[in-house]
Amino acid sequence: MRERRAVVRTLAPPLVALAIVLAAWEAVTRALAIPAYLLPPPSAIAIAADAHAGSLGQGILTTARAALIGFGLSAVFGVVAAVVLASSRLIERALYPYTVFLQTVPIVAIAPLLVVWFGPGLRAVALAAFIVSVFPVIANTFTGLRSVDPALRDLFRLYGAGRLATLTKLTLPAALPQIVTGLRIASGLAVIGALVGELFAGFSEDAPGLGILVMSSSRQLRTDLLFAAVLAAVALGLALFGAVNLLGARVLGRWHPSEKAEPFESRNQ
Amino acid sequence: MVEPEAGAPAGIRARSAAVEPAGVVTTAVRRVFPGGVVAVSGANLTVEPGSFTAFLGPSGCGKSTLLRMIAGLDEPTAGTILVGGEPAGARRVPIAFVFQDAHLLPWRTVLENAALPLELAGVSRAERHRAALAVLADVGLDDAATRIPAELSGGMRMRVSLARALVTRPHLLLLDEPFAALDELTRNRLDDRLRAIWRERGTTVIFVTHSITEAVYLAERAVVFSKRPARIVADHTIELPRERSGALRGEASFAREVRKLQEALEVADA
């Protein structure tokens, strides 16, 4: 009962704010008779979304697949790369500057190159999602691995722990909060990367992704459908972000203070 | 005095009352940090096997550095350190180290924290859990075995840390101001527990502190260090009965020992 009230208290204010904004939007577009190709009212967007529910749904699935593959690659490669970087100061000095390259590479410029190398389609789109989302995973994991309590490192040394035991029993678990933070940032970026990738490499898909829907509806001045596709992309990003958050809370909930949802007294009930 | 077991093999064995204590000999030990700061200067010291020695000195004087070198966590710039006849850091003699804070793994239960050193030594799960439960009982925490560190008070966490140190049945137990962050009542209780454990097991204990009363209450001998760079300025046998309890803190003999150490420390800090 108390939990339900807490949920209402958390969700009610943003929902009320959203309703007010939508109502104002609807009223203003109607009152000023703004042409639908400039700014369609929310009702028109809803009607368009309903009329194109099939292609929007397909678009979400196509984009989600590419974003998830890119995100998965980022998670695996990002953590492995950070472990390698953190394994020695020499490797860190030699390679860390180049990981920043991944952060600064303009995906809009590199996407055409991906099409040249891998051809249009899922592979190029997923790679775009990967390139955009991997750096936060590397950087956060690396920070986490490096900020392990020095006394605990001493303790492992005192008891003769090898590199592997220290990694699996100390540094990786200690870095988990930062790894989850990196994945959280990467989840949103992977969707953005997939959308941008589709603009360049998504045209060969049987079921066009959201990036293709955005582009085609903008060319046809179907602004209502454009809005619907953008909202679908936002929903996809939120879903992935929410999934990572849930996973993080599950993994860390028991011990990490930032994830602790409730005081520990109530845990034993 | 608990008799050390004759002919007992070194390393980790099943739980029994006493261990074979290891002595420490440092010869002309000097430690200069990068940047030229001299932390320890010419430390010559012999710690008898099975003794309880306090390292006393002003905060930041370098006594902790000497303790870390004995543990093999730091290396002397010059001089030698022998632990149980072996060079420090050779890890042939089981050593345990208790830090200023508990430093537990927050994602592990109390039991798994206490069992960690045995886990790293490759001891089987059933055996290490049995040993960990036994040491947790020694520190009065066997009923908290399934809890996690975030649920414990500072004093309980420190007791888990102590249990983790005792679980390998160390021949030498090194403690670096372990109870400094705790309130006085908790600290006194842990002091009593530590002394009881020492008397039962007979392991060699070196206890670093800047508290004179704690050194007098706990130790048989106090080695007083000067301000940085740490030199040994006094080596003092504490003349108090082996049987010690809270009442001792109010007695004249206790006050006399405290005064003696205070004078030595004032010379050290001058």
Q: Do the chains contact at A160 and B149, CB–CB below 8 Å?
A: no
pLDDT at A99 over 70: yes
Whether A249 is in a domain gets the answer yes
- Contact with chain B for residue A165, Cβ under 8 A: yes
The Cα of A154 is separated from the nearest Cα of chain B by a number of Å equal to: 7
How many domains does one find in chain A?
1
pLDDT tens for B81-115 read 989 888 888 888 899 999 989 999 999 999 999 99
pTM over 0.95: no
Grade residue B162 by pLDDT with cuts at 50, 70 and 90. very high
pLDDT at A21 over 50: yes
Q: Is A140 exposed, middle or buried (0-12, 13-18, 19+ CB in 10 A)?
A: buried
pLDDT at A257 over 80: no
pLDDT tens for A109-132 read 888 899 999 988 899 999 999 999
Task: Give the helix ranges, DSSP H, for chain A.
Answer: 2-31, 42-51, 53-87, 89-104, 107-118, 122-146, 150-158, 163-166, 172-201, 210-219, 223-252
Question: Using CB atoms, which residue from A152, A159, A170 is nearest to B121?
Answer: A159
Task: Give the helix ranges, DSSP H, for B121-183.
Answer: 125-138, 154-166
pLDDT at A39 over 50: yes
How far apart CA B167 and CA B116 sit, in angstroms, is 9
Whether A265 is in a domain gets the answer no
Residues B69/B89, Cβ–Cβ less than 8 Å: no
Tell me which residue range forms the domain holding A84.
Answer: 57-254
Task: Please state, rounded to an integer, the average pLDDT across all residues of chain A.
Answer: 88
Q: Which residues of B touch A175 (CB under 8 A)?
A: none
pLDDT at B12 over 60: no
Whether A39 is in a domain gets the answer no
Residues B88/B71, Cβ–Cβ less than 8 Å: yes
Whether A40 is in a domain gets the answer no
Q: What chain A residue is nearest to B73 in terms of C-alpha separation?
A: A154
What is the average per-residue pLDDT within B139-145?
Answer: 89
Q: Do the chains contact at A154 and B107, CB–CB below 8 Å?
A: no
pLDDT tens for B196-248 read 889 888 899 999 998 899 999 999 999 998 888 888 888 889 888 888 888 88
Whether A82 is in a domain gets the answer yes
B153: number of Cβ within 10 Å: 11
Q: Which residues of A touch B72 (CB under 8 A)?
A: 158
Residues B169/B116, Cβ–Cβ less than 8 Å: no
- Contact with chain B for residue A169, Cβ under 8 A: yes
- Contact with chain B for residue A20, Cβ under 8 A: no
Nearest partner of A79 among A140, A34, A30, judged by Cα: A140
Whether A85 is in a domain gets the answer yes
Q: Do the chains contact at B105 and A170, CB–CB below 8 Å?
A: yes
Whether A131 is in a domain gets the answer yes
ipTM of the complex: 0.85
* Structural domains of chain B in order of their starting residue, each with its CATH number: 21-94+179-270 (3.40.50.300)
Q: Which residues of A touch B94 (CB under 8 A)?
A: none
Q: What is the CATH number of the domain that holds A101?
A: 1.10.3720.10
The residue count for chain B: 270
Whether A33 is in a domain gets the answer no
Give the model's pLDDT for residue A24. Answer: 95
